[in-house]
Chains A and B, each alone.
Chain A
Amino acid sequence: MSEKNMTERYNYHSFVWELVDPWMRFHESPPLGTEAPDFPLWHLDGGQTSLSELWAQKTYTVVEFGSYT
């Protein structure tokens, strides 16, 4: 799948099952107890960081995923 196609599919325009269901993949998520994958993230001012930079700062880091809607 092309990068553009992935971005458009991920940012679905309407809440209908055929567009939403493909993203419900918790059963395929990384396992507990083994090192997790790292990804780049951005602060609200546009500055870049990463998940690993965040989790390295504290004994434990709670990450809630979500959005306004």
Chain B
Amino acid sequence: MDEIARSFAGQGVGSIFLYTHEAHPGENYPHHTSFEQKLAHASAFKRNEGVERPILVDALDGACHRGYGSMPNMTWIFSRAGVPVYKSDWTDASSVQNALEYLTDVRQRRRTGLRLAPFRVERVDFRNQDEDGFYAGLARSGRKAVDEFRAAMEEAQTS
């Protein structure tokens, strides 16, 4: 996502990471009990993972996150007028890149004099499932996060 942010920065596209709650709290990164702790987790994320995009932090009660559906890793694209033009319940870099290529192309087509009217479209995209990377992320949070996720997956398979 940082690479996409870099490649579209010159075309009027801004990109941020919005820090929410800990989806998989563990011994190293437990659930938030104060806003200062939330800021510290977000700073550690930026520092340790080398995130290039600006990181903004939501309120402790997740007002913004909850207002947009509170999925753990979703992506939204807003126009300058504050109108969402893309939303995905999970983040996939290819999907976001595809959307940005389409949106920036609309600007180019309008500059040629075409009159383009907005319409809504729904589709199903496909995200990469990096299981090793996901479990490495859980381990970073702590053994508790790994064990709880495994238990939740087993519960889901048996129910």
Contact surface of A with B, Cβ cutoff 8 Å = 3, 6-7, 10-17, 20, 23-44, 46, 49, 51-52, 54-69
Number of B residues near A (Cβ < 8 Å) is 90
Which of A3, A16, A62 meets B61, CB within 8 Å?
Answer: A3
Q: Which of A20, A27, A41, A68 has the most CB of B within 10 A?
A: A68
B141: A residues at CB distance < 8 A: 68-69
A38 & B82 in contact (Cβ 8 Å cutoff): yes
B82 & A57 in contact (Cβ 8 Å cutoff): no
Which of A25, A49, A61, A66 meets B77, CB within 8 Å?
Answer: A61
Give the distance in Å from the alpha carbon of A37 to the alpha carbon of B96 in the complex.
21
Instruction: For the complex formed, measure the closest distance between the CB of B72 and the CB atoms of chain A, giving whole angstroms.
Output: 7
Give the distance in Å from the alpha carbon of A47 to the alpha carbon of B138 in the complex.
30
Known: A36-B82, A44-B42. A66 touches B31 (CB 8 A): no
Contact surface of B with A, Cβ cutoff 8 Å = 1, 4-5, 8, 11-26, 29-33, 35, 39, 41-46, 49, 53-87, 89, 91, 96, 100, 103-104, 107, 118, 120, 137-138, 140-141, 144-145, 148-149, 151-152, 155-156
A44 & B62 in contact (Cβ 8 Å cutoff): no
B57 & A44 in contact (Cβ 8 Å cutoff): yes
B43: A residues at CB distance < 8 A: 44
B16 & A54 in contact (Cβ 8 Å cutoff): yes
Which of A13, A51, A56, A58 meets B12, CB within 8 Å?
Answer: A58
A31: B residues at CB distance < 8 A: 84
Give the distance in Å from the alpha carbon of A40 to the alpha carbon of B59 in the complex.
7
